[in-house]
Amino acid sequence: MTSTDPDLLARLQDSVGGLGTLTERLGIEFLTAGPEHVSARMPVEGNTQVVGLLHGGASAALAETVGSVAATLHAGQGRGAVGVDLSATHHRAVRSGFVTAVATPLHLGGRLATYDVTVTDEDGRRVCTARLTCMLVDRP
């Protein structure tokens, strides 16, 4: 189930977007969260290549972030998710504004979870398509 509960989103932002994390440095902000749908947005500004285009690595990091959060929510209490495979195809350049990533499940198992992640620009055009597989593990 997807949540737009502000308290859940704030806790999620605090837990994965804390001081010094890549999530914080990229400026990722969670919009919705649930094991079958996580969305977040990221500013293009500050996440560009030298020529001023959105860096493909930033898109990949955004995709892995939303997929990993979704997998962690699927894993349940006392468990977490570790990314084991990420592939990303970059479709178009973006120079400004925000991009939004949405993770939806392809497979939700007990040991592995795989997500399709689409990254779009502010006009809804697909910027990147990614697939993330996470191993579900017990937390220490």
Sequence-ordered alpha helix ranges (H) in the chain = 6-16, 22-26, 56-75
Write down the catalytic residue from 29, 45, 64, 122: 64
Q: How far apart are CA 119 and CA 124, in angstroms?
A: 9
With contact defined as beta carbons under 8 Å apart, do 126 and 117 qualify?
Answer: no
With contact defined as beta carbons under 8 Å apart, do 105 and 132 qualify?
Answer: no
Q: Six-digit token pair at 30?
A: 């969670």
24 is catalytic: no
Q: Six-digit token pair at 35?
A: 């094991």
Identity of the residue numbered 2: T
> What residue ranges in the chain does DSSP mark as E strands?
29-32, 38-43, 79-90, 98-108, 112-120, 126-138
Instruction: Give catalytic residues, as residue numbers.
Output: 64
